[in-house]
Structure 1
Amino acid sequence: MSSPALEISRGAFRRNIAAVQARIAPAALMLVMKDDAYGHGLHWSVPEAADGGVEWFGGYDVDTALRIRALTDRKVYAWATSTVEEAEAAITAGIHLGVGSAQYLGDVIDVAARTGIRADVHLKIDTGLHRNGFRPDEWADAVATARAAEERGVVRVVGVWSHLAEASDDEDDAAQRLFHDAVRRLTDAGGRPEVLHLTASAASWWRPELRGTLNRIGAFCYGIRSADGPELEGIELISRLTAPVAEIGDDHVVVGVGSFHGLPSTLCGARVATPDGLRRILSIGGGEMHVEPWAGAQTDQRVVVFGPGRDGEADATALAERIDTVGEEIITRLTPAVRRVIVD
């Protein structure tokens, strides 16, 4: 235990998943696992979530989705626009693809026709975020192309999806109306989408009227709340970052974690939990940070940089709020030099 460690609780992860599922029922959960399960590791979290009843996994990109596929036979979804080679790998592996452009839809149809493997696609309507997706004036052509391919047995239009801008309730309500109109136009053309997913973590939690039949939720399942957002009932951070005391100085204690481990140097001034209570970070260097001293400090002790709050330390989002970012960045930027330790 002489190096920094991210201690990850299986039990907290399972409890969070159950709390999210209960919150969004009867809609289903798509557990988002981008960035190696938000920095916690796919190798254990995928089978753990599958055992907890998760039927849908969201990998964002094809590479992550393929890694998830190697760990489970449940439904896996990749929504980042990908290369032809990536699309072929995904289709071969039975991964559902989010499609939001005419070029990508054409590529997916071509790959499916060439390989003889039907592609499962979810068509994306741009409801106002303008990140990607078919614009409303492109939707009719997208539906016609997808339905023609579906009639040929080349693709299956499994779902319709979008991203909310979450700029205001009024804008999200308008986005929902546009979304429902897109679904209606698909069904009028003979489509029979099995799943509709408009909301991610925040909207799924707080705007039940916007939920479709499937909700893409990542951060909350790992206990990471929204920046500047309230606490989440029944949800706890599943990990805590600890680091060893390396040296005792006259006016500081050296703790063995720093920017080389992925800890932002701008977190100076934040408080960490020591065996004698909270102490302020004085400076953050490459491999270490200096912390205000405490009585009885010893080199066999460990400091908690962030965690679920049981010891009074800040959670990852509280640290993120100090530097105007989001909680997942604090965790996902931790390098492999921080050991991941899975506990019950």
Structure 2
Amino acid sequence: MRVAEVSIEAIHHNVRRISEVTSGGQIIVVVKACGYGHGAVIAAEAAMSGGATMIATADLEEALQLRDAGVTAPLLCWLHGPRVDFAPAISASIEVGVSRLSHLEALAAAAKELGTTATLQFKVDTGLSRNGAAKEEWETLFARGAELEREGLVRVRGIFSHLANAGEEADHAQGEVFDEAVRMLREAGSEPEMIHLAASAATFSRPKLHYNTVRVGLAAYGLSPFVEKTSAQLGLVPAMTLRSEIVALRGVPAGTGVSYGFNHVCEVATTLALVPIGYADGMPRALNGNGAWVTIAGEPRPIVGRIGMDQFIVDVGPLAGRVELGEPVVLFGDPERGYPAIEVWSRLMRTINYEILVGIGPRVIRQAAE
């Protein structure tokens, strides 16, 4: 009754488009937060078969889950707690993003205990003021990394940072800081194979910040990181179609109240369709009464009445008699195919498309489709 259909071909197309934009540079596709709601395994396998260089997650637990599911792609993760055990990462050939000296030492100690070499990428803060080594820590951190490299305990494969997306001037200022970090890393004696600063937004707007690698999330799933530009304008194809079906139909007279609180009353006699997705599945309750709609039988129809935990109601109006139980309902998908764009929801909720995607609940089945 609840399916997030994920187009493998769309992800392939999007990775190819990113490669085109970056002139064939290396592409890291981020599949954190359940692959931005698409299913991490589906997303990872589709991205790699589409031409990605590497897969990334936020934390080690997500990366290990991919390994447990049989994903063999190169993996990177970078958000760690103070007591993290890096041994499982090393054993599973997962690259570790290192942003402080204590984590570097812990990684090297785990590698020594296992009798092997750990692979890492340094993460530096260039102005986002979030995760990443502060500028005053770089010299010590990079020098120690080079020393551990000479000892054979670690391999420094890359360096990266994250933009604040605070405007062109701010982005390029961060780029200058990042350039300094790359220079200092090289002077310390390490030569990074992967240098990445641009995420989805900068991939499509800041070509000078592409370096030799970009690290994308949203764009790989075919959605635009910009309010003022659509997916189609960027040459991307939304990969997810959120579907359900009609499980009940009810003809009602004018004056009928709909769902909790009767905040919608039918002005004329009509037919109401019950659809089994609700706020437990990531459908924001506040969409009610805001003009949100779905597609049924190829036509847009309004959501009416308060959205419940498990279900919502659509006024099918003139479609009465043409639809029956089991009729497909599309909540959002590719607008080029006539479906509601996910941005309909995000605009109504005054949020971003990212939040809608990752809020899709576990009852919704993620299903790969060509």
Establish whether TM, by shorter chain, passes 0.5.
yes
How much does 1:190 deviate? 1.6
Distance 1:259 1:227, change over 3 A: farther
Residue 275 (structure 1) shift:
2.0
Q: 1:307 aligns to what?
A: 333
Q: 1:40 to 1:92 in 2, by over 3 A?
A: same
Q: CA deviation at 1:311?
A: 4.8
The one of 286, 293, 298 aligned to 2:324? 298
Identity rate, percent: 29
Q: CA deviation at 1:276?
A: 6.1
Task: Judge conservation of contact 1:97–1:121 (CA < 8 Å) in 2.
Answer: yes
Segments of 5+ residues of structure 1 without an aligned counterpart are none
Choose from 280, 284, 290 the match for 1:264. 284
Distance change >3 Å, CA 191–CA 248, structure 1 → 2: same
Q: Given the superposition, is the C-alpha separation of residues 166 and 84 from structure 1 closer, same or farther in structure 2, using an over 3 Å criterion?
A: same
Per-residue deviation, 1:80? 1.1
Q: Displacement, 1:46?
A: 2.8
Name the CA distance, whole Å, in 1 between partners of 2:66 and 2:354.
Answer: 20
Deviation at 1:201, TM superposition (A): 0.9
2:315 is the alignment partner of 1:289: no
8 A Cα contact 2:246 2:329, kept in partner: yes
Q: Residue 118 of structure 1 corresponds to which residue in structure 2?
A: 117
Q: Give the counterpart of 2:20 among 18, 22, 29.
A: 22
Give the C-alpha shift of residue 84 in structure 1: 5.1
C-alpha contact 1:69 1:76 (8 A) present in aligned 2: no
How far off its partner does 1:107 sit? 1.4
The within-5 A match list for 1:132-143 is 132-143=131-142
Describe the superposition over 1:79-110 as per-residue Cα deviations: whole angstroms up to 9, x where unpaired: 11246554111111111111111222221122
Q: What does residue range 1-344 of structure 1 map to in structure 2 within 5 Å?
A: 3-70=1-68, 71-82=70-81, 86-226=85-225, 228-232=227-231, 233-249=234-250, 250=252, 251=266, 252-268=272-288, 269=290, 270-275=292-297, 277-282=299-304, 283-295=306-318, 296=320, 297-344=323-370
Point out the more displaced range, 60-69 or 179-188.
Answer: 60-69
Letter in 2 for 1:274: I
Alpha-carbon deviations, 1:92-148, whole Å to 9, x = none? 111111111122222112212222221111112210001121111111111121112
SS of residue matched to 2:324: coil
Aligned positions, number: 342
Matched residue SS, 2:294: strand
Instruction: Check whether the contact 2:17–2:235 (CA below 8 A) recurs between aligned residues.
Output: yes
How far apart in 1 are the matches of 2:228 and 2:95? 32
The answer to whether the 8 Å contact 1:273/1:311 transfers is no
Mapped contact 1:318–1:327 kept (Cα < 8 A): no
TM-score by length of 2: 0.87
* Letter of the structure 1 residue corresponding to residue 310 of structure 2: G
Contact 2:2 2:243 in 1 (8 A): yes
Q: TM-score, normalised by structure 1?
A: 0.93
Counterpart AA for 1:39: G
Partner amino acid, structure 2, of 1:53: G
Amino acid at match of 1:238: A
Contact 1:126-1:135 at 8 Å conserved across structures: yes
Deviation at 1:210, TM superposition (A): 0.7
Q: 1:276 to 1:184 in 2, by over 3 A?
A: closer
SS in 2 for 1:57: strand
Q: Deviations over 1:143-193 (max 9, x none)?
A: 121112112111111111101111121111111111111111121122211
Shift of the 324–117 alpha-carbon distance from structure 1 to 2, 3 Å rule, reads farther
Structure 1 residues 334, 328: CA separation in 2 closer, same or farther (over 3 Å shift)?
A: same
Helix, strand or coil for the counterpart of 1:153? coil
Once the two structures are superposed, residues 17-43 of structure 1 have per-residue CA deviations (whole angstroms, 9 ceiling, x without a partner) of: 111122112321001111222222233
Shift of 1:227: 5.2
Cα distance change on mapping 1:222 and 1:161 into 2, 3 Å:
same
RMSD: 1.9
For structure 2, the residue ranges without an aligned partner over 5 or more in a row are: 253-265, 267-271
Amino acid at match of 1:254: L
